[in-house]
Amino acid sequence: MSSWFERRFDTKGTKDTKVRRVFPLGKVLVLVGLGIAGLGLLIMIGVPFGRLPGDFYVRRGAFTFYFPLATSVVLSILITLALAFFRR
């Protein structure tokens, strides 16, 4: 069974087939575009990306410190699940 990024082709004049690994750049670009559009849609309907509980925000006078810890963890989990899904 070949994976989704392998393409088999016949060699000329022989019964052998070779496997060429082809990186499907078009598919990747479409999936990235859909992901960005989905993220934009979620932000438009009010999902608080970047303002989750667990994100640190400190303001003292003219000094402001923001560390998005919870957002980083959530994005890391989502990216890990997406890559695991596409790897199968």
pLDDT at 65: 93
Dist CA 2 CA 87 (whole Å): 13
pLDDT digits (tens, 9 = 90+) for 15-26: 666 656 666 777
Q: E strand or H helix at 39, and its extent? A: helix 25-44
pTM of the model: 0.52
Q: Is the pLDDT of residue 8 over 70?
A: no
